[in-house]
């Protein structure tokens, strides 16, 4: 008989398993089996091996003469805290794909394949499968293959019910067709493509505004109308993936520069594609800011300048073209399902001028 009433001494000599330490190998295997059919839906030319091996093999399509690989990596940020609070796990995977593929798109790259990293304290197979289902849906939208990833179950690293995500995209572009922005000159026009909402940037400020306004993310007061959607639907709308319409545009119209409006908003992302002697002048009344941004600005008393450097304010991608090419570019984008508008112009930049201003 143990000399410890609770049997501690006896238990101390019992065999331990990985599951006793908090890692469920069977759950991980079950998730892999759930993921496989999702990944199969994303298969495309170039995939040699996919989910399940130590490394996934991909052959650059032979239609490329001088392929240059373009890579990008990103996460979803504190939008995940909104997902946890609202129980919305189906679309953050789309956000994950979008943030990387939209980044490599600006250089004219076609996304080829994507890998994800899902980390949690305790693996909930159903939740993880919902997240990966979103990743697969994002890959389908972008035309890239989900060929690998990692699921890390790390006890004590994350609270139950929470997880973190990272994603990695690799694309290719013909060396002679890389979009650099070097040909941009004063007089060129700036076309804005409508965003689907906040996308995946600025959520620390979003949550702070909600706390000030209503105290809780799921407060009944937040069930107001936001352009025909509830607050939860509006704030969790997945990041728009612009890959297919923009690649189609690049093949049809001379595009001089592209900027993904991500962290840093309008004023910090547009300059990333401008020559040093150029300035972008954007006209705030040229596009309609979605209702959610107005709600955030009012309830947070956020200054215009802060809005423009934190949020996309309704413009998720910017494209610079010559004036003569603008009508054809807009018509092409609208035929592809995008809302496209001339939102500004390129001007000469003098010493001391800001690279981008919104007036």
What would the pLDDT profile of 238-294 be if each residue is shown by its tens digit? 999 999 999 999 999 999 999 999 999 999 999 999 999 999 999 999 999 999 999
Q: Give the residues across from 353 on adjacent strands.
A: none
Question: Can you say how many angstroms the Cα of residue 75 is from the centroid of all Cα atoms in its chain?
Answer: 7
> Closest by alpha carbon to 235, among 83, 89, 120?
83
Three-state SS for 95?
helix
Predicted confidence at residue 22, as pLDDT, reads: 81
The pLDDT of residue 5 is above 80: no
Predicted confidence at residue 12, as pLDDT, reads: 67
Number of helices and strands in the chain (H, E): 12, 10
Question: Can you say how many angstroms the Cα of residue 171 is from the centroid of all Cα atoms in its chain?
Answer: 16
Predicted confidence at residue 1, as pLDDT, reads: 39
Work out the burial of residue 105: count CB atoms within 10 Å of its CB; fewer than 13 is exposed, 13-18 middle, 19 or more buried. Answer: buried
> Closest by alpha carbon to 75, among 164, 141, 208?
164
CA-CA-CA-CA dihedral for 26, 30, 31, 32, to nearest 10: 100
The pLDDT of residue 350 is above 50: yes
pTM of structure: 0.92
Three-state SS for 30?
helix
> Closest by alpha carbon to 313, among 217, 213, 230, 201?
201
64 — phi, psi (to 5°)? -80, 130
Evaluated on CA atoms 288, 294, 295, 296, the torsion sign reads positive
Mean pLDDT of all residues in 206-225:
73
E-state strands within the chain? 67-75, 110-120, 145-153, 163-174, 189-194, 257-260, 278-282, 315-321, 340-348, 356-358
180 — phi, psi (to 5°)? -115, -20
Q: Cβ contacts of residue 16 below 8 Å, gap of 6+?
A: none
Confidence grade of residue 214 (pLDDT, cut at 50, 70, 90): confident
> Closest by alpha carbon to 190, among 346, 356, 359, 327?
346
Distance, CA of 327 to CA of 356 (rounded, Å): 23
Predicted confidence at residue 211, as pLDDT, reads: 86
The pLDDT of residue 175 is above 80: yes
Predicted confidence at residue 114, as pLDDT, reads: 97
Distance, CA of 205 to CA of 308 (rounded, Å): 13
- Quick: pLDDT tens for 152-172: 999 999 999 999 999 999 999
8 Å CB contact between 262 and 269: yes
Q: Cα–Cα distances in Å, from 229 out to 108, 171, 306?
A: 34, 34, 25
Residue 76 φ/ψ region, left for φ over 0, alpha for ψ in the -120 to 50 degree band, beta for the rest: alpha
């Amino acid at each position: 008989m143990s000399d410890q009433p609770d049997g501690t001494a006896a238990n101390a000599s019992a065999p331990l398993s990985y599951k006793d330490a908090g890692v469920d190998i069977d759950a991980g295997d079950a998730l892999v089996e759930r993921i496989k059919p999702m990944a199969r839906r994303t298969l495309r030319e170039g995939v040699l091996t996919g989910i399940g091996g130590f490394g996934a093999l991909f052959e650059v399509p032979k239609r490329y003469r001088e392929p240059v690989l373009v890579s990008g990596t990103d996460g979803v940020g504190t939008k995940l805290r909104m997902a946890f609070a609202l129980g919305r796990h189906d679309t953050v995977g789309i956000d994950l794909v979008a943030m990387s593929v939209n980044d490599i798109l600006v250089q004219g790259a076609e996304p080829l394949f994507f890998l994800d990293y899902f980390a949690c304290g305790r693996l909930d197979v159903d939740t993880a499968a919902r997240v990966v289902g979103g990743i697969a849906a994002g890959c389908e939208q972008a035309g890239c293959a989900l060929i690998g990833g990692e699921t890390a179950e790390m006890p004590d690293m994350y609270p139950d019910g929470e997880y973190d995500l990272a994603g990695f995209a690799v694309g290719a572009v013909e060396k002679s067709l890389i979009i650099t922005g070097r040909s941009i000159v004063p007089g060129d026009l700036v076309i804005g493509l409508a965003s689907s909402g906040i996308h995946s940037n600025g959520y620390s400020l979003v949550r702070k505004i909600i706390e000030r306004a209503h105290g809780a993310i799921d407060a009944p007061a937040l069930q107001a109308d936001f352009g025909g959607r509830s607050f939860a639907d509006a704030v969790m709308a997945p990041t728009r993936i612009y890959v297919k319409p923009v690649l189609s545009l690049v093949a049809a119209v001379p595009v001089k520069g592209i900027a993904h409006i991500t962290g840093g908003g309008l004023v910090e992302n547009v300059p990333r594609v401008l020559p040093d002697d150029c300035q972008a002048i954007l006209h705030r009344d040229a596009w309609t800011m979605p209702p959610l941004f107005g709600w955030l600005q009012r309830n947070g008393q956020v200054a215009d300048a802060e809005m423009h450097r934190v949020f996309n304010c309704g413009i998720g991608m910017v494209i610079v073209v010559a004036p003569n090419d603008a009508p054809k570019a807009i018509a092409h984008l609208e035929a592809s399902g995008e809302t496209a508008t001339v939102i500004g112009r390129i001007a000469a930049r003098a010493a001391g001028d800001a690279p981008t201003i919104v007036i």
